[in-house]
């Protein structure tokens, strides 16, 4: 087996350092990277090594090179980019099955580990869902509903689970909105997760799991019905 050259190894080191700077929040989405000469000095590498590392990260979807703007941060996680691409290639049903697995685990852990701050965040999202439902505002309702789910996943206090969920939520948003708009029988109030919040507050693990199973399966049936029409 051929060994990697020292130069390639150095490129990988620069790639790793840039990824760490982005994931730590030192460089955020939309930020422009410093000038080439400055980066060469900071990483102590040649122009060719730096450019190869940048090209690798652009290819991975973490960075983006814009005409006249230099290189900017496109995503906060290389893993997230890869997962996002996989979700885009999957059907909405496949993605819902993954969402069910993640939310079921998150609901179970949240019921065991939630604290007062978690409960306050979920309660606030529920109230926003209620206000949006009273106005019949689909966009605001969807935003508040997604925030509830994200807050619940955060209450699991499992960072890996949180990262996985974060990257499948965005691709699902447009599909969920389409279902809400196309469903003539859509009832906002039925979609507000009062019972799930209560189960998590009461630390009723089984009730939380049962609720997630029910609402995801119900949503799956709505999608099937709309796709068949």
- Domain ranges, ordered by start, for the chain: 6-76, 80-228
Q: Which has more pLDDT, 54 or 188?
A: 54
Q: How confident is the model at residue 112 (pLDDT cuts 50, 70, 90)?
A: very high
Per-residue pLDDT of 161-217, as tens digits, reads 988 887 777 666 665 666 666 555 456 666 789 999 999 999 999 999 999 999 888
CA atoms lying within 13 Å on the CB side of residue 46? 7
- The shares of helix, strand and coil residues in the chain, as percent rounded to the nearest 5, are 75, 5, 20
Closest CA to 60 of 88, 36, 80: 80
Cα 41 to Cα 4, 8, 23, 37, 187: the distances in Å are 24, 18, 21, 6, 59
pLDDT surpasses 60 at 3: no
CA angle 220, 225, 229 (to 5 degrees): 150
* Residue 96 CB-density burial (10 A; 0-12 exposed, 13-18 middle, 19+ buried): buried
Confidence band, pLDDT 50/70/90 cuts, at residue 51: very high
Given a cut of 80, whether residue 90 has pLDDT beyond it is: no
Q: What integer pLDDT is reported at residue 24 of this predicted model?
A: 85
In terms of pLDDT, which residue wins out, 193 or 79? 193
Token pair 């799991």 in the structure block, residue = 209
Q: What pLDDT is attached to residue 8?
A: 58
Percentage of the chain modeled with pLDDT above 70: 82
Percent of the chain with pLDDT over 90: 41
pTM, two decimals, is 0.67
Identify the pLDDT of residue 4: 45
CA distance 6 to 12: 10
Alpha-carbon span 118 to 44, nearest angstrom: 44
The CA distances from residue 102 to 136, 168, 212, in Å, are 29, 10, 10
Q: Is the pLDDT of residue 5 over 50?
A: no
* pLDDT, mean over the chain: 84
More confident residue, 40 or 166: 40
Q: Over 90: is that where the pLDDT of 37 sits?
A: yes
As a whole number of angstroms, the distance between CA 188 and CA 136 comes to 8
Query: For the structural domain made of 80-228, what CATH number should be given?
Result: 1.20.120.530
CATH class of 6-76: mainly alpha
Distance of CA 194 to the CA centre of its chain: 23
Q: How many angstroms separate the most distant Cα atoms in the chain?
A: 66
């Amino acid at each position: 087996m051929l060994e990697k050259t020292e130069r390639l190894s150095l490129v990988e080191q620069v790639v790793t350092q840039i990824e760490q700077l982005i994931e730590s929040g030192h460089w955020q989405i939309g930020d422009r990277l410093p000038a080439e000469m400055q980066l060469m000095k900071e990483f102590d590498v040649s122009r060719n090594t730096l450019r190869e590392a940048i090209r690798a990260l652009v290819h991975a979807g973490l960075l983006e090179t814009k005409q006249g703007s230099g290189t900017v941060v496109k995503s906060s996680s290389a893993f997230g980019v890869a997962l996002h691409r996989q979700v885009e290639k999957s059907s909405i049903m496949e993605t819902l099955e993954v969402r069910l697995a993640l939310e079921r685990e998150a609901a179970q852990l949240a019921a065991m580990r939630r604290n007062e701050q978690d409960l306050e965040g979920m309660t606030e999202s529920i109230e926003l869902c209620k206000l949006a439902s009273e106005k019949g505002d689909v966009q605001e309702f969807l935003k508040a509903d997604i925030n509830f789910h994200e807050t619940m996943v955060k209450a699991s206090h499992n960072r890996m689970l949180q990262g996985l969920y974060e990257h499948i939520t965005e691709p699902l948003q447009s599909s969920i909105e389409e279902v809400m708009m196309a469903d003539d029988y859509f009832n906002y109030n039925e979609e507000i997760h009062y019972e799930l919040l209560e189960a998590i507050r009461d630390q009723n693990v089984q009730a939380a799991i049962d609720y997630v199973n029910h609402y995801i399966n119900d949503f799956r049936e709505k999608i099937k019905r709309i796709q068949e029409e």
